[in-house]
Amino acid sequence: MNETQEWTTVIKPKDKLWSIDFKELWNYRDLTTLFVKRDIITQYKQTILGPLWFIIQPVITVLMYMVVFGGIAGIGTDGIPQPLFYLAGTCMWQYFADCLNKTSNTFVNNSSLFGKVYFPRLIVPVANVTSNLLRFGIQLLLFIIVYIIYSITGCAASVNLYALLFPLLVLMMAGLSLGFGIIISSMTTKYRDLQILFSFIVHLWMYATPIVYPLSMVKGKVVAGIDMYTVMRLNPVTPVLETFKYGVLGAGEFIGWGWLAYSFIFMSALLILGIVIFNKTQKSFMDTV
């Protein structure tokens, strides 16, 4: 009866809750890099401006914020020049939102591919999050250029040691968007309502995150008996964004290690939950998508 050990593939209706085959994921690493390459190559094919769009989008967004929030509404920016303040927030948020939007449609967008061939489905959202880094990198470059221009003209923004947390912050943004994205994508295979609902929520989420206003502004504000400052900080994206803005701009004050740890734990739990749900879905989604 040793024969059972020889089987290399066993296909059963249900797997254990946690049955991620990390070795398999590693075996398909070439596919991951090729997907990343595909996303990058094809994104702006047959456009005249090409990757310039990476820059045009945040520039226009920031100009818009300067007019609406900085100008008309008169919302302060913790004494940081408006373009820098908005650009820092937009770059980070845009990376998060792009990843989330793309990964949350993983199953629906790739159903024709997933219906024909097997590979670990998790590769697709991971490749999404990775390929979006290019866009993020270019926008970050824009931020640095603007930053240098302001430094030369001698402005208040001051980079400090917390800026060293930057790689961790990007990792957390990627983790959060991946976690949320794969959970949403797993839920939308059957009921498309959720897809519409979530794209709407992502839209509103931005306003619940300190991007167009500083977190310090929320301090002490109580709406309907709820302390908005606490609620804002419970948003797992807030600590990441605030730390970034504090680190590179010296805007406001450091949110505290506790909140950053909270955000990190939130991300880890979300990722684990997401992978479990995603894994459960990937086996049968072809029948319901």
* CA–CA distance, 78 with 251 (Å, rounded to integer): 6
User: Alpha-carbon torsion 259, 88, 66, 203, what sign?
Assistant: negative
State the minimum distance, in angstroms, from the CB of residue 134 to other proteins: 17
| Paired residues of 223 in beta bridges | 226
State the minimum distance, in angstroms, from the CB of residue 115 to other proteins: 6
Nearest CB to other proteins, comparing residues 1 and 223:
1
| Paired residues of 222 in beta bridges | 227
Nearest CB to other proteins, comparing residues 29 and 219:
29
User: Alpha-carbon torsion 162, 164, 165, 171, what sign?
Assistant: positive
* CA–CA distance, 117 with 65 (Å, rounded to integer): 45
* CA–CA distance, 263 with 241 (Å, rounded to integer): 11
State the minimum distance, in angstroms, from the CB of residue 157 to other proteins: 40
State the minimum distance, in angstroms, from the CB of residue 39 to other proteins: 10
Nearest CB to other proteins, comparing residues 190 and 262:
190
**Interface positions with other proteins (CB under 8 A):** 6-14, 28, 30-31, 33-35, 37-38, 41-42, 45-46, 113-119, 190-191, 283-284, 286-288
> Do residues 278 and 178 lie in contact, with contact meaning Cβ atoms separated by under 8 Å?
no
Nearest CB to other proteins, comparing residues 149 and 286:
286
Nearest CB to other proteins, comparing residues 13 and 167:
13
Nearest CB to other proteins, comparing residues 24 and 253:
24
> Do residues 207 and 75 lie in contact, with contact meaning Cβ atoms separated by under 8 Å?
no
State the minimum distance, in angstroms, from the CB of residue 278 to other proteins: 14
State the minimum distance, in angstroms, from the CB of residue 262 to other proteins: 31
* CA–CA distance, 116 with 124 (Å, rounded to integer): 15
Residue found by looking up tokens 């009866």 in the block: 1
> Do residues 267 and 176 lie in contact, with contact meaning Cβ atoms separated by under 8 Å?
yes
List phi, psi (to 5°) of 277.
-65, -45
